[in-house]
Amino acid sequence: MTEEKGLSVLRACQVARLSRAAYYKPGVCWAVRDAAVIEAINAALQESARWGFWKCYDRIRNLGYRFNHKRVHRVYCQMKLNLPRRAKRRLPNRERHPLAVVPEINAVWALDFMRDTLYGGRVFRTLNVIDEANRGALGIDIAVSIPAVRVIAFVEQLIDLHGRPRAIRCDNGPELISEAFSAWCKTKDIELRFIQPGKPDQNAYIERFNRTYREEVLNAYLFNSLAEVREITEEWIDQYNEIRPHDALGSLPPARYRERLLGAETPV
């Protein structure tokens, strides 16, 4: 560069107020020089990828590192962590639970969400709950939004009606992996059996129920309001449990099969 401008290195350093020793000194990669700071930042962000700088810096100090906040901020910016970022929440590795039916009422319940729209275009959701033992529909909650608090309230209502399940099989939806729902299940001594992400076949019984519900209710009617959805759904649940033959149950409806299971559980 100095040769292109017709300047000697000495003159160029004088103009830039830079020593010739600094000019000839080889550059050092910042990632190598600040490797320890990078390690500390990554360790802090393992707790939450959405933390800002000061939350991250406080966590670094709590971990025992003693870096100056200016140095940490410089490296933080060089890592481009000061820019808006989206981080996908990592799900823990799920153990695959066998999809074997326990012939006992309230052994395992299955939960799943569905989505549909009213005639006017308004989106609503349903929370479907069945007992795997007899494939019986325990209940379907219908609302525009079903957060974790509403899931807990609805399942509590079902427990009051049908008794407490020993386990619940469900996917990794945000409402079901929330701390609120997990803590509630723990207090009720209910085991949560999460299926592996992207493997809906591991919750096949509720998936098959969902298809029947969609074909016979959601796709069969045009709904103007949630009240209409709830009314027709309640009538369909009664028919599904009491009248509709189920192939997997020897062509018996779930209610009749439930009576058979309860009779087998009763000691002679």
Condensed to tens digits (0 to 9), the pLDDT of residues 105-164 reads 999 999 999 999 999 999 999 999 999 999 999 999 999 999 999 999 999 999 999 999
266 has a pLDDT exceeding 60 = no
- Residues 6 or more apart from 194 whose CB is under 8 A from it? 94, 170, 171, 172, 176, 177
* Count: domains in the chain: 2
Residue percentage of the chain with pLDDT more than 90: 54
H/E segment holding residue 123 = strand 123-131
Answer whether residue 3 shows pLDDT above 60.
no
CA dist., res. 235 & res. 246, Å (int): 17
> Is the pLDDT confidence value at 228 over 90?
yes
Give every CB contact of residue 107 below 8 A, 6+ residues apart in sequence. 132, 133, 165, 166, 167
pTM (2 decimals)?
Answer: 0.65
DSSP bridge pairs for 108: 167
Do 35 and 154 belong to one domain? no
Based on the domain organization, do 117 and 50 belong to the same domain? Answer: no
Question: Domain of 174?
Answer: 108-265
Q: What is the pLDDT of residue 103?
A: 84
Q: Phi, psi (5° rounding) for residue 195?
A: -80, 165
239-265 burial: b if 16+ Cβ within 10 Å, else e: ebbeebebeebeebbbebbbeebeeee
Same domain assignment for residues 183 and 238: yes
**What's the CATH code of the domain at 242?**
3.30.420.10
- Residue-wise pLDDT tens digits, 149-188: 999 999 999 999 999 999 999 999 999 999 999 999 999 9
> How many residues does the structure list for the chain?
268
Model pLDDT, residue 209: 96
Indicate whether 62 and 132 sit together in one domain. no
Q: Is residue 25 pLDDT above 80, yes or no?
A: no
Q: What is the mean pLDDT of the chain?
A: 87
Residue 100 within a domain: no
Looking at the structure, tell me whether residues 186 and 229 fall in a common domain.
yes
| pLDDT reported for residue 33 | 82
Examine the pLDDT at 1 and tell me if it is beyond 60: no
The pLDDT of residue 84: 66
Alpha-carbon span 184 to 192, nearest angstrom:
11
- Do 39 and 166 belong to one domain? no
Q: Kindly state the tokens that stand for 81.
A: 């962590």
Are 52 and 116 found together in one domain?
no
Phi, psi of 169 (to 5 degrees): -100, 130
Kindly indicate the confidence band of residue 42, based on its pLDDT and cuts at 50, 70 and 90: confident
Percent of the chain at pLDDT exceeding 70: 90
Q: Is the pLDDT of residue 268 over 50?
A: no
pLDDT in tens, 244-262: 999 888 889 999 998 888 8
More confident residue, 176 or 45: 176
For residue 192, list its beta bridge partners.
168
User: How many angstroms separate the CA atoms of 183 and 176, rounded?
Assistant: 11
More confident: 52 or 107: 107
Decide if 124 contacts 229 (C-beta within 8 A). yes
Kindly report the three-state secondary structure assignment for every residue of 63-109: CCCCCCHHHHHHHHHHCCCCCCCCCCCCCCCCCCCCCCCCCCCCCEE
**Quick one: 138 and 61 in the same domain?**
no
**pLDDT bucket at 197, cuts 50 / 70 / 90:** confident
- What are the two backbone dihedrals, phi and then psi, of residue 196, each rounded to the nearest 5 degrees? -70, 140
Tell me the mean pLDDT in the region 25-38.
Answer: 81
Q: What is the pLDDT of residue 86?
A: 58
Position 78 pLDDT exceeds 70: yes
